[in-house]
Amino acid sequence: MKYTKGIKHALVDHRKTYGISKTIRASYLYHTILIKRFFLGNKENKITVNGYEMNVNPSDKGISEELSMFNIHEPLNTKFLSEQLEEGMICLDVGANLGYFAFLESLKVGKTGKVIGVEPAPSTFELFKKNIKLQKYQNISSYNFAFTNKESIVDFFVSNSSNWSRIIEEKDNDHGDKGNIIKIKCRTIDNFIDEIKLNKLNLIRVDLEGYEYEIFEGAQKTLSKLKPMLQIEVHRDFMGIEKSLKFLKNLKDLGYDIVYYIPRGVDMPIVASINDVKHVKLDHVIENIQNDPQMEYFTILLKNNTNVL
């Protein structure tokens, strides 16, 4: 009963933001999940997606359940990110989770490329490491910590839906999900890149539920010097308007602009359509992020328009 009430509330919000057509699709998706969860459960441990194998966590109501049911996660972002990846690239995957995007990157960059996967949640990290052994190319290194704007120890909320785990502030008691709080180690991207002596970096992919500002605050040297592509899930309502604007304006000042923009609320199995992908400028997002309800959270891929030194 609680779950169906949650669906009703979510669909009301979804209709206000995305319109009736998308909400009909979202309703079909949510009820498909409910039916599959009730009759089939989530019993699979190993699945094949995007041409690679990976283990999932049957008790995870987040990405593991989604992949077990639909064999896809963020279908639009999966397609468009894949098209940006080339043989020989070096990718830093921040918030690797089970490895869904890291393994896509691994396939695309091939044996001459490299993927550096960073996952802060200890139990998820162990599954990520296990999944690495299943991949075609052993070009993936893994690290168990988080990135922020300083070397530190912070509180981290481990959600029962693994893709909603995140760094939290001490005063943040409303986590919106069930789970537990642990202490984790934090690094800065700049210090880490210096430590591993990386002089080339083609992509940084970030999905850390509202901590984008702090992560890139600790990556200014890397962005200025190596100028990697950035694929970011931006969470306006977690960061707040002021911090979101400061974050986006900093990327603009560094020479970045948007290649593609995807409202995250429609990038789901059944719901997503190719027409949902927008090719807008960063200035457009900066101008509209305060009032556009679809910009509650969204995915963008950005490239630097200045020459790499």
Give the residue extent of every domain in the chain. 42-304
Confidence category of residue 1, pLDDT binned at 50, 70, 90: very low
Q: What CATH code is assigned to 42-304?
A: 3.40.50.150
pLDDT digits (tens, 9 = 90+) for 205-250: 998 877 899 999 999 999 999 999 999 999 999 899 999 999 999 9
12 versus 217: the higher-pLDDT residue is: 217
Strands 203-206 and 90-94: parallel
pLDDT of residue 259: 97
Task: Please check whether residue 299 is in contact with residue 264, taking contact to mean a CB–CB distance below 8 angstroms.
Answer: yes
Task: Give SS3 for 230.
Answer: strand
CA proximity to 44, closest of 35, 55, 36: 55
pLDDT of residue 250: 98
Confidence category of residue 60, pLDDT binned at 50, 70, 90: confident
C-alpha–C-alpha distance, residues 154 and 191, integer Å: 17
pLDDT of residue 293: 94
Q: Is 99 left (phi over 0), alpha (psi -120 to 50) or beta?
A: left
Q: Name the strands in the sheet holding 166-167, side by side, starting at the edge strand that comes first in the sequence.
A: 146-147, 179-187, 152-159, 166-167
